[in-house]
Copies of this chain bind each other. A is one copy, B any other.
Amino acid sequence: MTFSAGEAREGEAAPSLAILCGGGAFPIEVAAEARRAGREPFLIGIVGSTDAAIEDYPHVWLRMGEVGKLFAALKERGVGEMVMIGAMTRPEFADLRLDWGAVKRAADLAQLFRRGDNGLLVGLAAIFEREGVRIVGAHEVAPNLAARAGLLGARPVSPDDRADVAFGARLLEALSVFDGGQASVVAAGRVLAIEAAEGTDGMLARVAELRTSQRLRLKGPAGVLVKAPKRGQDLRLDMPAIGPRTIEGAAAAQLRGVALAAGRVLVLERERCIRTADTAGLFVTGF
């Protein structure tokens, strides 16, 4: 299936693709999926952040602030689309080693660094797009990496679980207006936890602690982790994701399963996620 998609792509002459790679293994997964779909990606690594595995692909290494070198590389390769993916520690503007290309854009850049994380990303995307490089989401070049609708693992979803998923989804939708959490834990219609600044792992650790300390008394596995992007969230720049650690966190919190907004949440290391969930007896489903 993926190969035939790749063959179809060849005739289309999709624009040359770059991947700006933050830390972790996920940028490499995206590159592999893009390659499987017939698009040979050009990988950009950040010294000190990115995994050396990018060297299996056409690539360039940059230091933070080498904006001129970045744009020169994109131009030389004729890059028309770029994915920005992976964990990145936000640098302080003053710590950037600005090259000449960056100095030319210094006023723009300095202004961006006065914004919040999301504002910074949106501003960077706008700078790239002004220079003719369209920013696309990882799910667009590697749709297999997003959760699909229906069961992902072996464990089935009961009607009660389904009701909790629907309840959690409505809760997250209502919170969206407030730019609130991307995740919640719901058990039999009761909200056990809502994510905000602590992140999903932090929230799951809290539920685990409430259960082991008996402050939250529930019998056996209970509750569903429901995860979805906020309404209006720019999935090209900031897409919710789960990975094996999320599944381990859900198991430690003694949940019944994990439900993900289909097509809108990335699943990192899918095979390991599903194996971990199957072993722990958790369902994983897209809704």
- List residues of A whose CB falls within 8 A of some B CB: 116, 167, 170-171, 174-175, 177-181, 185, 189-198, 202, 206-207, 210, 215-216
* Contacts known (A174-B178, A178-B174); A210 close to B191, Cβ less than 8 A: no
Closest chain B residue to A190, Cβ basis: B179
Chain B residues with CB under 8 A of A197: 190-193, 207, 210, 215-216
Q: Do A206 and B202 have beta carbons less than 8 Å apart? A: yes
Q: List 10 A-B contacts (CB under 8 A).
A: A170-B178, A174-B174, A174-B175, A179-B190, A191-B196, A194-B196, A197-B216, A198-B206, A202-B206, A202-B210
Which among B167, B171, B193, B196 is the interface contact of A198 at CB below 8 angstroms? B193
Chain B residues with CB under 8 A of A190: 116, 179, 197
Q: Please measure, in the bound complex, the distance between the C-alpha atom of A179 and the C-alpha atom of B175, giving whole angstroms.
A: 13
Closest chain B residue to A194, Cβ basis: B194
Q: Please measure, in the bound complex, the distance between the C-alpha atom of A210 and the C-alpha atom of B198, giving whole angstroms.
A: 7
> Beyond A179-B190, A192-B196, A193-B197: 5 further Cβ-contacts under 8 Å?
A171-B178, A178-B191, A179-B189, A193-B198, A198-B206
Min C-beta distance of A249 to chain B, whole Å = 15
Which among B175, B195, B210, B215 is the interface contact of A175 at CB below 8 angstroms? B175
Residue in A177, A194, A195, A197 whose Cβ sees the most chain B Cβ within 10 Å: A197
Chain B residues with CB under 8 A of A206: 198, 202, 206
Q: Please measure, in the bound complex, the distance between the C-alpha atom of A212 and the C-alpha atom of B215, giving whole angstroms.
A: 25
Chain B residues with CB under 8 A of A194: 175, 180-181, 194-196
For the complex of A and B, 3 pairs with smallest distance between CB atoms? A194-B194, A192-B197, A180-B191
Q: Please measure, in the bound complex, the distance between the C-alpha atom of A167 and the C-alpha atom of B180, giving whole angstroms.
A: 11
Which among B180, B185, B193 is the interface contact of A171 at CB below 8 angstroms? B180
Q: Please measure, in the bound complex, the distance between the C-alpha atom of A152 and the C-alpha atom of B235, giving whole angstroms.
A: 44
Min C-beta distance of A116 to chain B, whole Å = 8
Min C-beta distance of A178 to chain B, whole Å = 5
Min C-beta distance of A169 to chain B, whole Å = 11
Q: Please measure, in the bound complex, the distance between the C-alpha atom of A190 and the C-alpha atom of B181, giving whole angstroms.
A: 11
Chain B residues with CB under 8 A of A185: 196
Chain B residues with CB under 8 A of A174: 174-175, 177-178
